[in-house]
C-alpha cells in the first residue's frame, strides 16, 4: 500500500511484507532432539516481543524454548543470517526467543508455560538489568562474521529483526517466503548501516548535538531502506540489483577495520561509503508505476543531510 504525505510518496508496508517466514525445519535424528518443528521469521521493520509471541500463537506455535545445548545450536543455525540481526552500539542484537522475566513467577520463565529455565546460555555478564530488560534474545559482539548463539536480556519495548517459532505440529505454520536474492542484498545494506551507526555511537568524541543529528539521520535512512525492502518483496519481478552493489556493501564494512584517529574521521568515512551505496541503489532497473523512484529519492535526501553533518565534522574535528 502506498500513501501520499506532504507532497512526497511514502511506502506503507503491508503485514504480509513485514514478516518473512523461512521454511519449517524439524529437529530430529540427533541426541536429545524432541521432534518439534521450528520456523525462523525475519521482521523487515522490527517487531516487539509481545507481537512476535502473538504471531507465533496465531500460527499454532509459540516463541521457541531452549532446553539443551543441542536445541540451542539447532535454533541458532536457523537464524545465523544478516536478515535476522541488527546492531546496538558494539553488540549484535539477534532474534527473540520465548523467555520472559516475570513478577508473577519470579525469575525467567518460558512463555509456553514450560516453567523456569533448566538450561541457559547467557552471554558473559548477562542478564544484567532485571528491572528493565525482561525479554530474551540472541546476542553477539556486533560483527557480522561473529554472530553468536548466546543470550541477552532486552527491554519489552525494544524491537528486533527476527524471531523463532516452535511447533509441536506445523499444521498452521505460515508458508515459506519465496527466495529473493535482491531482498537478501538489501538486508546486507541494512546491516551495513547498522554497523556504521554502531561505530559512530562508539566514537569517543561527542561533537555535541551535531553528532546526535548524524545518528538520527542514519536511523532514518535505515527506516527508508526497510520500506524499500518491503516494496521489493511485493514486486519481485522488479527486484534486480546491479553487480556493483555487493562491492559497495563491502566498502561500507571496511570502516570497521579503520582505526579511530585523533580527529574522529570515522563518521565521515561511514557517511561517504553510505552515499556511494545509495547512489548505486538509484540505478535499480524498473520504476514499477512511479513508486520506486520517489522511495530512492527520499533515501538520497536523507543521505545528503548526513553528508552535511559529516562536513561539519570536517570543519570542526575537535568541537564538542
pLDDT digits (tens, 9 = 90+) for 118-175: 999 999 989 988 788 999 999 997 666 679 999 999 999 999 999 999 999 999 999 9
Considering the entire predicted model, what is its pTM? 0.77
Instruction: Compute the distance between CA of residue 3 and CA of residue 112 in angstroms, rounded to an integer.
Output: 39
| Tens-place pLDDT, residues 214-261 | 667 666 666 666 666 666 666 666 555 555 555 545 554 554 445 444
Q: Which three cell numbers stand for residue 173?
A: 505454520
Q: Which three cell numbers stand for residue 120?
A: 541457559
Instruction: Compute the distance between CA of residue 75 and CA of residue 223 in angstroms, rounded to an integer.
Output: 28
Instruction: Compute the distance between CA of residue 224 and CA of residue 233 in angstroms, rounded to an integer.
Output: 14
What is the overall mean pLDDT for the chain? 74
Check whether 97 has a pLDDT greater than 50: yes
- As beta bridge partners, residue 152 has 137
Nearest partner of 66 among 151, 172, 155, 160, judged by Cα: 151
The ranges assigned to domains in the chain are 23-167, 181-315
Name which of 17-31, 53-67, 129-143, 226-240 the model is least confident about: 226-240
Only one residue has cell 551505496, namely 277
| CATH 3.40.50.300 applies to domain 23-167 | no
Instruction: Compute the distance between CA of residue 204 and CA of residue 201 in angstroms, rounded to an integer.
Output: 8
- Which residue pairs from 108-114 have beta carbons closer than 8 angstroms and sit at least 24 positions apart in sequence? 108/136, 110/65, 111/53, 111/62, 111/63, 111/65, 112/62, 112/63, 112/65, 112/166, 114/65, 114/67
- More reliable by pLDDT, 12 or 19: 19
| Tens-place pLDDT, residues 117-133 | 999 999 998 998 878 89
Element at 116 (helix H, strand E): strand 115-116
Instruction: Compute the distance between CA of residue 173 and CA of residue 13 in angstroms, rounded to an integer.
Output: 22
Instruction: Compute the distance between CA of residue 259 and CA of residue 264 in angstroms, rounded to an integer.
Output: 9
| Polymer length in residues for the chain | 320
Write down the pLDDT at residue 104.
75
Using pLDDT thresholds of 50, 70 and 90, give the confidence band for residue 115: confident
Element at 223 (helix H, strand E): helix 208-234
Check whether 15 has a pLDDT greater than 50: no
Q: Is 267 in contact with 200 (CB distance < 8 Å)?
A: yes
Write down the pLDDT at residue 271.
60
Q: At what angle do helices 245-253 and 266-281 cross, to 10 degrees?
A: 170
Instruction: Compute the distance between CA of residue 263 and CA of residue 289 in angstroms, rounded to an integer.
Output: 46
Amino acid at each position: 500500500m502506498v500513501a501520499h504525505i506532504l507532497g512526497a510518496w511514502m511506502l506503507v508496508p503491508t503485514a504480509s511484507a513485514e514478516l518473512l517466514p523461512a521454511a519449517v525445519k524439524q529437529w530430529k535424528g540427533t541426541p536429545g532432539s524432541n521432534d518439534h518443528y521450528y520456523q525462523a521469521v525475519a521482521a523487515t521493520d522490527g517487531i516487539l516481543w509481545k507481537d512476535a509471541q502473538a504471531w507465533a500463537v496465531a500460527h499454532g506455535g509459540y516463541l521457541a524454548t531452549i532446553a539443551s545445548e543441542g536445541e540451542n545450536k539447532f535454533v541458532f543455525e536457523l537464524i545465523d543470517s544478516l536478515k535476522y540481526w541488527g546492531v546496538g552500539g558494539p553488540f549484535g542484537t539477534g532474534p527473540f526467543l520465548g523467555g520472559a522475566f516475570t513478577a508473577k513467577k519470579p525469575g525467567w520463565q518460558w512463555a509456553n508455560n514450560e516453567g523456569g529455565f533448566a538450561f541457559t546460555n547467557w552471554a558473559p555478564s548477562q542478564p544484567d538489568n532485571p528491572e528493565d530488560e525482561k525479554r530474551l534474545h540472541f546476542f553477539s559482539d556486533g560483527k557480522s562474521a561473529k554472530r553468536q548463539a548466546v543470550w541477552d536480556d532486552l527491554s519489552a519495548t525494544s524491537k528486533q529483526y527476527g524471531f523463532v517459532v516452535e511447533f509441536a505440529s506445523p499444521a498452521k505454520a505460515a508458508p515459506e517466503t519465496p527466495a529473493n536474492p535482491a531482498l537478501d542484498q538489501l538486508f546486507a545494506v541494512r546491516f551495513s548501516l547498522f554497523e556504521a551507526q554502531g561505530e559512530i555511537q562508539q566514537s569517543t568524541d561527542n561533537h555535541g548535538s551535531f553528532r546526535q543529528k548524524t545518528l538520527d539521520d542514519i536511523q532514518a535512512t535505515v527506516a527508508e531502506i526497510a520500506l524499500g525492502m518491503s516494496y521489493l518483496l511485493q514486486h519481485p519481478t522488479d527486484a534486480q540489483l546491479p553487480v556493483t552493489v555487493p562491492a559497495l556493501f563491502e566498502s561500507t564494512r571496511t570502516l570497521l577495520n579503520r582505526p579511530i584517529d585523533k580527529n574522529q574521521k570515522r563518521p565521515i568515512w561511514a557517511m561517504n561509503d553510505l552515499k556511494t551505496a545509495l547512489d548505486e541503489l538509484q540505478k535499480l532497473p524498473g520504476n514499477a508505476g512511479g513508486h520506486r523512484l520517489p522511495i530512492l529519492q527520499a533515501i538520497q535526501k536523507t543521505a545528503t543531510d548526513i553528508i552535511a553533518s559529516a562536513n561539519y565534522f570536517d570543519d570542526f574535528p575537535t568541537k564538542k
